[in-house]
Structures are given as C-alpha cells and as structure tokens.
C-alpha cells in the first residue's frame, strides 16, 4: 500500500502528534493518485456485487474523526458507483432516551450489517469512550471498563462473519480551522457550521488524548485501527479505498453456485 495509512498493531502504542496529517505516502502526484482511485472504485464495485450475491459475510466500516475530519467526504468517495442496495449507512448522533435506557452497545448492535452487506458507521460506539470522557459525563472507571466491552463485542462480530475496518481520519488543528472558516465563507455551507464545534475545538488536546487511548486499547488482531492522514482529501480518499479493496480481496467473496445448468435452460 503506497498511502500514508498506518495500521496500529495489537500491543503497540501510538502518539497522534508523531503522525503527520499531511502524509500522502508514496503518492506525490495528485493526478496519479486520482487515476489509481478510479481503478480502486471499479474493483470495489465488482467485489461488492460478489459479497451481495454470496450472502454469507458482511463488511463493517467505522469512521471516526474530529469535527470537519472528512467522514462524509471519505464515504462519498468510497461508495461512488456502488450498488446502494448492498450498503447501509448509519450516522450515530447523541443517544435518545430509549438508547440511554440500555447498555451503550445496544444501539450499535442493531445496526450491524447483515450478511451480504457493507455497513458504514459515521461515528460509532467509540463515542462512548470519547465524548463522555472529555465532557466528564461518567466516571473514569466506567469508560475505562468499556474498552474491554468493545473488544469483546468486536471479537464476537468477527467470529460471526463480520470483517471490521476502523478508520481514524487524522487532521491537524490548523486544517480544522481552515475547514471551519470555509463553511463560514461559503453561504452554501453555512448549514454545516455549528457554533458548538468551537466549544469542541477548545477541547482539542483532550480529544486527542481520548482518541490515542481508544486506538491503543482497542487495536486488536481481529479489528485493528487504521490511522489515515487526512489533511489532503485526495490522499485520505485513496488510503481508505486501498484499505477496503485489500480487505475485500482477503475475503475473496464468490458468486454462489446455482443448482441448474444454464445451458439446458431454453427461454421461449
């Protein structure tokens, strides 16, 4: 893989400040990268069709990032031309009262993609070791215990035929400032701006630490974290696409065998 994507191996410890958000790996030329991205999108379309037809396993893609990190853009690029019948996209907002009346994994478990499907989660169960920690909504002993619950949950999904890819889209604080300002400068993007984003930005260092701990504690052999340098949108998109296609190729989905001989069928 030529991109700057970093796979966090189980048992290793990363520090986000040591990872360059502008790294594009071996892709120095944007046009070259975009040409490769188009090829990957074509491969993905073919592989997704096989997964859908096979109907035995599923693929879960989890996207986490700081505000303006590019989750929507990465998903839009990745799924260009993919059959929407084989995809489920879920955006997890603040939990409802009903969801709060259950354990923190209850709402996400309901959205696990069924066999044959690609599931895309824009934010996820990791919010329950991020936001609640940074804003001190619960005691530290509660969110710390959740790392083990998350690892067990993801292990159970993998044991039941779900391949999990977890992407952290890593942007710099300066890049976030530029993207927030761009939303103010363009009237068509005003709807994307939330004054609450500025309050979250003030907690940047707290969130970076929370993400570091979640990544380090929950990078397992069956579901490691993938850190994607995301200041350059094109580099982000190709890194995600390469990782997804690589995972698909390891899965090797196949069209199911039919119980008839097509050569003997005559349509009059």
Structural domains of the chain sorted by starting position, each given as residue range(s) with its CATH number in brackets: 6-254 (3.40.50.300)
Percentage helix, strand, coil, to 5, in the chain? 50, 15, 35
d(CA 161, CA 59): 8
Q: What are phi and psi of 220, to 5 degrees?
A: -110, 165
Check residue 29 and give its pLDDT.
84
Q: Which residues of the chain have pLDDT under 50?
A: none
Measured N-to-C along each axis, helices 140-159 and 204-217 cross at an angle, to the nearest 10 degrees, of 40
The residues with which 90 forms a beta bridge, in sequence order, are 121
Measured N-to-C along each axis, helices 233-251 and 71-78 cross at an angle, to the nearest 10 degrees, of 50
d(CA 38, CA 225): 25
Strand ranges (E), the chain = 6-7, 58-65, 87-91, 118-122, 162-170, 225-229
Model pTM?
0.95
- CB 245, CB 44: distance < 8 Å: yes
The residues with which 69 forms a beta bridge, in sequence order, are none
- CB 133, CB 146: distance < 8 Å: no
Check residue 28 and give its pLDDT.
81
d(CA 111, CA 5): 27
- CB 165, CB 61: distance < 8 Å: yes
Distances (CA, A) of 258 to 51, 54, 85, 261: 16, 11, 22, 8
d(CA 18, CA 21): 9
Question: pLDDT tens digits for 106-159?
Answer: 999 999 999 999 999 999 999 999 999 999 999 999 999 999 999 999 999 999
Question: Residue 225 carries which DSSP code?
Answer: E
d(CA 76, CA 85): 15
The residues with which 165 forms a beta bridge, in sequence order, are 61
Residue with tokens 């804003």: 135
Question: pLDDT tens digits for 30-41?
Answer: 998 999 999 999
CB proximity list for 193: less than 8 A, separation 6 or greater: 180, 183, 184
Check residue 262 and give its pLDDT.
86
């Amino acid at each position: 893989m030529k991109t700057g994507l970093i796979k966090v191996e189980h048992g290793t410890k990363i520090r986000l400040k040591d990872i360059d958000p502008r790294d594009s790996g071996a892709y120095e030329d944007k046009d070259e990268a975009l040409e490769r991205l188009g090829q990957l999108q074509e491969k993905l379309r073919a592989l997704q069709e096989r997964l859908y037809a096979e109907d035995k396993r599923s693929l879960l893609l989890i996207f986490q990032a700081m505000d303006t990190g590019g989750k929507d853009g990465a998903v839009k690029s990745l799924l260009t031309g993919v059959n929407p019948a084989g995809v489920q996209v879920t955006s997890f907002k603040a939990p409802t009262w009903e969801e709060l009346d259950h354990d923190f994994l209850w709402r996400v478990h309901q959205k696990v993609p069924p066999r044959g499907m690609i599931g895309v989660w824009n934010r996820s169960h990791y919010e329950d070791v991020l936001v609640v920690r940074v804003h001190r909504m619960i005691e530290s002993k509660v969110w710390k215990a959740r790392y083990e619950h998350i690892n067990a949950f993801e292990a159970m999904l993998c044991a039941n035929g779900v391949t999990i890819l977890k992407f952290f889209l890593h942007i710099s604080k300066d890049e976030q400032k530029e993207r927030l300002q761009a939303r103010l400068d363009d009237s068509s993007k005003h709807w994307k701006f939330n004054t609450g984003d500025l309050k979250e930005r003030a907690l940047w260092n707290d969130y970076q630490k929370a993400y570091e701990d979640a990544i380090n504690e929950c990078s397992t052999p069956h579901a490691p974290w993938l850190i994607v340098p995301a200041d350059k949108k094109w580099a982000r998109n190709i890194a995600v696409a390469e990782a997804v296609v690589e995972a698909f190729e390891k899965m090797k989905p196949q069209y199911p065998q039919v119980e008839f001989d097509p050569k003997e069928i005559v349509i009059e």
